Amino acid sequence: MPAQPISERYEIIGELGAGGMGAVQRGFDRVLDRPVAIKRIRPESLALAPAAADELAKRFRREARITARIQHPGVPQVYDAVLDAAHEQLYLVMELVDGTSLRKYLGTDQQLPITWAAAVGAQVSTVLSHAHVIPAVHRDLKPDNIIVARGGTVKVLDFGIAAILRTDVTKLTAVGSYMGSRPYMAPEQIQSGQITPQTDLYALGCILHELLSGQRPFNGPSDYEIMEMQVHAAPTPLRQLRADVPAALEDLVLQMLSKSAEQRPADTQEVYERLLPFLPEAGQDPAPEETGPAGAPDPTGVFRHPYAPRSRPTAPPPAPTPTLIDPQAQPVPVPEQLRVDIESAYAQADALMGEERFAQAAEVLGEVLAPAAQALGADNKKVLELRRKRSGMLILGGDYRAALPEFDALADAYARTSGPTSKAARLCRAQAAHARANLGQATVALRELHAVLELVRNVASDASEEAIELRRSIGSLLASQQRLREALEVLEPLLDDMHLVLGEDDEECLSLADDIARIRLALGYDDA
């Protein structure tokens, strides 16, 4: 998809989703070379009179600033607010959250564990407590605006969006329409009453009811009937729908769903405190009955292991069983459109690399990898070249954790297709070793670099460009581990070879000579 610049800085590269208040798109920040989420707010509705447009601009900036003030890990960080000169496009540029919408936890045959529902409610309460003190009321809290990130942290999206689009000023919706989602709207919202933090508590009560029972508190064939029920009907108590819901939890949800805002809990802090008894204890592993939807992030994890380090990266999948490559096999022809897409991706990645936007370059190459592998096969030469180029971008961008399993897999693939001593296989093994070194795995990295160097010595000179680079890496890594005498044993003979190949005045030789002098000084050697 062609890049679409916003404010000369942000490029839209794909759709993430859409809602009543606008589309969410995946973008890239050209300056900081990082992925972002870009919220485009109702562009089709912004044909306003000049006075209304000016008011919209003021409100947009004010609400964006308010949202940016909510300093809590449960609120995606706001990076930028963009309003074009014609007042025709509104954009919020935000942190891109990797996770699962709470909506996907609902509507399944499996009931959510009590601890999961309580954990979501407690985390949302915590987020709201930070917002309400500003004060900032969400106004449109619903499962679609809540994401459970991969580590289990609950993120609340779209703070300030409903306030930006309030109908009494911006007239962005038809006369008599409501801003919000009907199944989660408090009675005072429906009746155009005073919006307070208790309005958000009502919506959270609706969400808790749905998480625990699998049903919304009020359902009907039309929006009008749902709103009538919100204002006048009593919700079904949870224990009538699910017998294992604790009575105290049922009482809390019923109070949150009170028609009168004053009869709801005093604040989000009270909601959190009343949810505490239903949360797991720190250090407690989940019981078999507390397993939630398969593959879904566990929102109880932040309570079971508070402030835990991020999970260790999972090991890459085992390499396929080596197969013999038929030397007589004809190469798979590249479909014309795929060829064009690959060439375009290379050109775009090279341009991005020239601007040191390595993360985005890796993403661009990644977009054509899947169709290329599907069309040509995983071990196809062009596919392997694409993967190698992308992995190199990851290394240049400092993302060693992502690059390591890729270079390991590439080394295995080249060993299968070109032989274990092939240059491509050697270079990928060396890159994997460099990634390990940067991740603190120095012992393994040294072992792998030595192994690659032995392969190079079998097929080329010890003073070849590849061997020199490997020897320099080994010596530097030894020095960084304070194994200084071993480092000298590697680097001093290396300098002699480099003098013969490059000349004593070569910049690389002079740099290495300086390194050796510092090591000798640290060891107390007398060079006088």
> Which residues are catalytically annotated?
140
Alpha helices (runs of H) in 81-236, residue ranges in sequence order: 114-132, 161-164, 167-170, 187-190, 197-213, 223-232
User: How deeply is 306 buried, as exposed, middle or buried, from its count of CB atoms within 10 A (0-12, 13-18, 19+)?
Assistant: exposed
Bridge partners (DSSP) listed for residue 148: 100, 154
Is 142 strand, coil or helix? coil
Bridge partners (DSSP) listed for residue 91: 40, 82
Is 264 strand, coil or helix? coil
Query: 215-218 — which CB contacts under 8 Å span 24+ positions?
Result: 215/241, 216/183, 217/183, 217/257, 218/183
Phi-psi label, residue 524: left if phi above 0, alpha if psi -120 to 50, beta otherwise? left
Under DSSP, the state recorded for 397 is: T
**What is the distance between the alpha carbons of residues 516 and 528, in angstroms, rounded to a whole number?**
15
Check if the beta carbon of residue 406 is closer than 8 Å to that of residue 438: no
Element (H, E) at 425: helix 423-438
Is 474 strand, coil or helix? helix
For the chain, the C-alpha Rg in angstroms (whole number) is: 30
**What is the distance between the alpha carbons of residues 135 and 497, in angstroms, rounded to a whole number?**
69
- 494: CB partners within 8 A, 6+ apart: 468, 471, 472, 475, 512
Tally of CB atoms within 10 A around 195: 19
- In this structure, the chain runs to a length of 528
Residue from 113, 128, 78 nearest 303 by CA: 113
